[in-house]
Amino acid sequence: MEQRKLLLQAEKISHHYGEFIALQDVDLPVAPGEFVSVVGPNGAGKTTLVNVLTGLHQPTKGKVYFGGKDIAGLNAVDLATRGLARTFQLMSVFLDLTVRETISVAACSYLNMRWNGFGKLFGQPKVHEIVTRTANAFGLSPWLDTPAKSLPHGRRKLLDVASAFALHPKVILLDEPTAGVSTADKHVVMETVLTAAKSMGIEAILLVEHDMDLVSRYSSRIIAMQAGKKIADLPRDEFFANKEIVSIVVGKGTH
């Protein structure tokens, strides 16, 4: 894949915490239309990788490009305005806010609007449009005036993802979006996310996930990590045909 055709490109990135090497010489290309999953045992470096990609950490070595441009030094807010957004494994929604208010905060950020209270915010046609479209895409419209803390866990997870989608990213990074969701509901959450991604113009998805059932069902490509290194980057079927790599991924691993 040529860099000019890639949405997101990490080149030989490393990240050190003092003497500890959390990432070492990792390459990661993401092209339009891809659903790329990052997998590995605990301590493999998955979260550190995503933190570097999204500006929470700076790479000790290497480069990260988004849309062909070097994004070194940009923070998560700057990256979101450029079209790279993420969700978190621990839900980042403000639980005392309603669904409408939560999505409105993200819409306001996307529109670069200053506001002094939700009353004035709701009166803005552009904010209302984003809230309505996002809530519809995620099936949250009936709960617009419900506090986030009153939502069932699965819908609360959807609200977290919806807030990131309201930033209108080209690439969305999902950090275990079904964590804590029942087995029966996890596919409902993922199918809703994928349908929303298609309707809202998301060009690529990067998923950090330990649930291999989800990885197998939804990924187009899978990157496996171990001890801070990339040990595989394969199409889904080739990945699951490699018993050695799968065994490493599903193992307990070490920090």
CATH number at residue 190: 3.40.50.300
pLDDT by residue (tens digit) across 164-177?
Answer: 999 999 999 998 88
Higher-pLDDT residue of 180 and 217 is: 217
pLDDT by residue (tens digit) across 39-83?
Answer: 999 889 998 998 899 888 889 999 999 998 998 778 888 888 889
pLDDT of 116 reads: 57
Beta bridge partners of 206: 36, 173
Q: Between β-strands 171-175 and 84-86, what pairing exists: parallel, antiparallel or unpaired? A: parallel
The answer to whether residue 31 scores a pLDDT higher than 50 is: yes
* Final residue before a domain boundary, out of 149, 167, 185: 167
Asked if 209 contacts 176 with a C-beta cutoff of 8 angstroms, the reply is: yes
pLDDT of 118 reads: 58
Higher-pLDDT residue of 93 and 165 is: 165
pLDDT of 253 reads: 42
- Same-domain check for residues 66 and 117: no
Task: Tell me what the mean pLDDT of segment 84-97 comes to.
Answer: 72
Asked if 255 contacts 48 with a C-beta cutoff of 8 angstroms, the reply is: no
Asked if 174 contacts 2 with a C-beta cutoff of 8 angstroms, the reply is: no
- Same-domain check for residues 244 and 201: yes
- Same-domain check for residues 67 and 178: yes
Tokens of 104: 């409105």
- Same-domain check for residues 104 and 79: no
The residue behind tokens 């550190």 is 48
pLDDT of 217 reads: 95
* Final residue before a domain boundary, out of 167, 185, 209: 167
The answer to whether residue 130 scores a pLDDT higher than 70 is: yes
What is the residue range of 122's domain? 90-167
pLDDT of 56 reads: 86
The answer to whether residue 255 scores a pLDDT higher than 90 is: no
Cβ neighbours for 221, distance < 8 A, ≥ 6 positions apart: 34, 35, 36, 37, 233, 234, 235, 236
Grade residue 93 by pLDDT with cuts at 50, 70 and 90: low
- For the chain, the domain total comes to 2
- Same-domain check for residues 180 and 253: yes
CA atoms of 177 and 181, how far apart (whole Å):
9
Task: Tell me what the mean pLDDT of segment 139-163 comes to.
Answer: 93
Work out the burial of residue 236: count CB atoms within 10 Å of its CB; fewer than 13 is exposed, 13-18 middle, 19 or more buried: middle
Grade residue 115 by pLDDT with cuts at 50, 70 and 90: low
| 133: nearest Cα among 157, 100, 155, 94 | 100
Higher-pLDDT residue of 114 and 39 is: 39
The answer to whether residue 2 scores a pLDDT higher than 70 is: no
- Same-domain check for residues 156 and 186: no
Tokens of 129: 């449009």
- Same-domain check for residues 154 and 185: no
* Final residue before a domain boundary, out of 124, 149, 167: 167
- Same-domain check for residues 13 and 127: no
- Same-domain check for residues 102 and 174: no
The answer to whether residue 90 scores a pLDDT higher than 60 is: no
The residue behind tokens 């819409």 is 107
Asked if 165 contacts 136 with a C-beta cutoff of 8 angstroms, the reply is: no
- Same-domain check for residues 254 and 172: yes
Using CA atoms, how far residue 54 sits from 19, 135, 227, in Å, is: 23, 25, 20
pLDDT by residue (tens digit) across 190-217?
Answer: 999 999 999 999 999 999 999 999 999 9
- Same-domain check for residues 10 and 74: yes
Using CA atoms, how far residue 167 sits from 54, 104, 236, in Å, is: 14, 10, 29
Task: Tell me what the mean pLDDT of segment 13-28 comes to.
Answer: 94
pLDDT by residue (tens digit) across 213-236?
Answer: 999 999 999 999 999 999 999 999
- Same-domain check for residues 120 and 5: no
Higher-pLDDT residue of 30 and 115 is: 30
pLDDT of 113 reads: 79
